[in-house]
Structure 1
Amino acid sequence: MRDGPPGVGRQVGMRDVASRAGVSIATVSRFINDPETLSPDMRARVEDAVRALGYIRHGAARALSMRRSHAIGAIIPTVDNPTRASKVAALQKHCRENGYNVLLALSEYDLDLELQQCRNLVEAGADGLMLEGGLHHPELYELLESRNIVFVNTIVYDPASPYPNIGFDNRGMARRLAEHLLDLGHTEFGVISGPRGSNDRARERVEGVHRALAKKGLPLPAERVVERPYRVAEGRLGLKTLMELPSPPTAVICGNDVLAFGAILEAQALGYDVPGDVSIAGFDDLDWASQLPPGLTTIALPAPKVGLLAARYLLETLAGKAMPHATEVEVRLIRRGSTGPAPKRG
């Protein structure tokens, strides 16, 4: 099994990588175990060969040859959001009940880092992966498909996607939240979004607000869409930026509840009444949403259900059963005290 070209009856080995990169096996070993000892040019040559050949370290190759490690990988952006944590907890519970362990990795909203974390989980022998969102590095999909590793995207619902997914219609629920505010008479909107560059969920929520307003012939100028990281302090900065505009919005939709909490605190600190002067809404329905005065209007996202469905999809697919390609999980609009009728101006 050690003879023959890569991909024919055997796993790609270090010898193949060395041959393709034009270096010694010892250099490949240093790349794997102590890459900082190599020059940038040498690291790049070996890395190009590793990617081209789809090389996986021998320990993982042995795990893969056994067909099952009984481990499921999960890659999520961060662990500081309770909604995301509840999704992983539900995944782990179902996996544990069925004899599988869960391996967790963080991407930090960085597609290159997510790709590396995916390689790490593959090398650790993960049988399947739960991913978040539908936007990933192209090489990530290539790696998983070349290794026949089962995976599912979560928190997104897209029947037209070529990749399996379980989650929410992010455009649709943002449109629904905007329509709630339109029904209250608001015409001046602002958005405090999470960074959209590598986050398709954030991007689609902004698009959903755009569509709802466009249907009513209303604009959403670029200066009224503020991008901030998902932290309370950043929500405060976002709200301050919007309210300093010559014509500030009377309705602000935030990318999640954490940003919305910050926005409410800043509005109150600036002397604005919520919702008398400005209505504020978010997404998630975190525990604080019903407790922080005046109560946050939000879209409740049943993340534990997504985690459970993702676990079922992965384990049933590994067992050879056919599963739905795309599954939409319903959300709920919860109206609370942070949204009210648009104030009269002028």
Structure 2
Amino acid sequence: MPLSARARRATGRAVLGDVAKRAGVSTATVSRVYNEPEKVSAEVQERVRQAARELNWIPNAAGRALASKRTHIAGAVIPTLDDQVFASQVAGLQTVFAEAGITLFLGVSNYDPEQALAQVRAMLTRGVEAIAIVGEAHRPELFDALRQYRVPYVVTYAYRPDSPHPCVGFDNRKAFFDLTSHLVELGHCNFGVVMPPASDNDRVQARLLGIRQALERHGLAVRPDNVREGAPSIAFGRESLRSIWQQSSARPTAIVCGNDLLAIGVLLEAHALGIDVPRQLSVTGFDDIAFAKEIRPALTTMRVDTELIGRLAAQRLVDTLNGSGGAERGMTGHEVKAALTLRESAARAPSPVRHGKA
């Protein structure tokens, strides 16, 4: 009995020889269709793929990797799945990788550098060909491992011209410099800041730097009792405004939030406390999530196309794997611009209350 028939009878599944027989080609041609399709005509490719579909046959990943010396697997490590911006980035990665015949492995670090390192090491041992990681604030061992395995990578959701890493994202410092400068131009001098934790988060650190630099340019600064750092959530946004309003010795007229969820929490708590936004208090967010324009007052924020970041990052990695990546041409990254989106939650600073003489 032929080996292919024995294998099929033992497993109940079709094997490569069955596909070749149905398509009327050799087993070598079937292998080339999946490993080196550029060497096979479109007509033969379609015939082989149709035969595979009819027989419900899927190429063996391990055998494919041995034949082509490629695994056709890429990895991505993101901080959380609870944030729309990272989910849309993964969608962009998936779209491009799928078109290139690459399977995406996803890891979540929960904002923990040790978990990020463990995820990357696990992916490397499983043969990923390329990796996308969010941000630069990772353990040195992570980048050492990528270099040791000679696996191309990109840093996403962050960009700075002097980064030692290939970056596909936006300039967090500049985005918050521009946002804060807009509020200063509206006459605001007393600011509050509500941010996710800055520890081990280069994006938040850059955002805080942008705020500070914009204020310093005008001789201003944020009072320490008007700064809050905590979970990037609506609940923490509410808690932060309540705390600032109750404890601050000089209440702010504008609050800059690190993301839209925090800003929405601030808006909800302002309503609960009877604070008029934007007449008494201006509030800004970041990301421009879907709900930002639905809440009232609609949220002034910065928009970043995170799905585009994912697609650009994946395309860079695919090009590198195919020998046409920008790294060979000295390209260190790609900047996606953040755009200020003006809505109702930010307005001119309220005029100081003037008290007449008795």
TM-score, normalised by the number of residues in structure 1: 0.80
1:344 aligns to 2:343 (yes or no):
no
Q: What is the aligned partner in structure 1 of residue 229 from structure 2? A: 227
1:302 equivalent in alignment to 2:302: no
CA–CA distance in 1 between the matches of 2:81 and 2:286? Answer: 17
Contact 1:236 1:266 in 2 (8 A): yes
TM superposition shift of 1:83: 1.4
The equivalent residue for 2:110 is 108
What residue ranges of structure 2 are gaps of 5+ in the alignment? Answer: 1-61, 354-358
What aligned pairs does 1:309-324 form with structure 2 within 5 A after superposition?
Answer: 309-323=312-326, 324=331
Amino acid in the other structure paired with 1:73 = G
Specify the alignment match of 2:153 in structure 1: 151
Structure 1 unaligned segments of length 5 or more: list them. 1-59
Task: Give the direction of change, closer, same or farther, for the CA distance of 1:223–1:64 in structure 2 (3 Å limit).
Answer: farther
Indicate the SS of the match to 1:131. strand
Deviations 1:275-328 (A, max 9, x none): 111100011000001100010000001101100100001110111113121211
* 123 and 74 in structure 1: CA distance in 2 versus 1, 3 angstrom threshold: same
Give 1:225 shift: 1.8
Matching residue's letter, 2:231:
P
Where do 4+ consecutive residues of structure 1 move more than 4 Å? 62-66
8 Å contact from structure 2 (residues 318, 325) kept in 1: no
Q: CA deviation at 1:242?
A: 1.8
Whether the aligned pair in 1 keeps the contact of 2:132 and 2:154 (CA below 8 Å) is yes
One-letter identity of the residue aligned with 2:187: G
The 1-side partners of 2:185 and 2:229 are apart by 26
1:223 positional shift: 2.3
Shift of 1:235: 0.8
Q: Where do residues 48-59 of structure 1 align in structure 2 (5 Å cutoff)?
A: none
Deviations 1:111-165 (A, max 9, x none): 1111001111112211110000111111000000000011000111122111111
CA-to-partner distance for each residue in 1:206-235, whole Å, 9 max, x for gaps?
110100000000012322221011111011
Give the one of 328, 336, 340 matched to 1:333: 340
Q: Which amino acid aligns with 1:275?
A: P
Confirm whether residue 286 of structure 1 aligns to residue 293 of structure 2: no
Equivalent residues in 2 for 1:20-59, closer than 5 Å: none
1:41 corresponds to: none
The amino acid that maps onto 1:119 is: R
1:245-264 residue CA offsets vs partner (Å, 9 max, x unmatched): 12111100000001101010
Q: Which has the larger radius of gyration?
A: 2
The corresponding residue for 1:266 is 269
Residue type matched to 1:319 in 2? N
Does 1:164 find its partner at 2:166? Answer: yes
Q: Distance in 2 between matches of 1:67 and 1:137?
A: 30
The Cα offsets for residues 81-112 of structure 1, whole Å up to 9 and x where unpaired, read as 11111110011011001101110000111111
Q: Distance in 1 between matches of 2:309 and 2:277?
A: 32
- The residue identity in structure 1 corresponding to 2:344 is G
Cα shift at 1:243: 1.7
Alignment partner, residue 97 of structure 2: 95
2:123 maps to a residue whose letter is: L
Q: What fraction of aligned residue pairs are identical, expressed as a percent?
A: 40
Given residue 335 of structure 1, which amino acid in structure 2 is its aligned partner?
L
Asked if 1:218 corresponds to 2:225, the answer is no
Q: Following TM superposition, by how much is the alpha carbon of 1:67 offset from its aligned partner in structure 2, in angstroms?
A: 3.8
- Cα shift at 1:63: 6.4
2:249 partner SS: coil
| AA in 2 matched with 1:202 | V
CA shift at 1:64, angstroms?
A: 9.2
> Is contact 1:64-1:125 (8 Å) kept?
no
Residue 190 in structure 1 maps to residue 197 in structure 2: no
Rate the CA distance shift 1:326–1:273 in 2: closer, same or farther, 3 A.
Answer: same
Distance of 1:93 and 1:309 partners within structure 2: 11
Cα distance in 2 for partners of 1:279, 1:330 equals: 24
Kindly tell me the number of residue pairs found equivalent between the two proteins.
287
> 1:187 & 1:65 partners in 2: Cα distance?
65
Cα distance, 1:339 vs structure 2: 0.3
CA RMSD of aligned residues (A): 1.7
Residues 217-256 of structure 1 correspond to what in structure 2 (within 5 A)? 217-244=219-246, 245-256=248-259
Rounded to whole Å, the distance in 2 between the matches of 1:280 and 1:114 is: 33
CA contact (8 A) 2:74 2:103 kept: yes
TM-score, normalised with respect to structure 2: 0.78
CA separation of 1:235/1:64 partners in 2, compared to 1, >3 Å: closer, same or farther?
farther
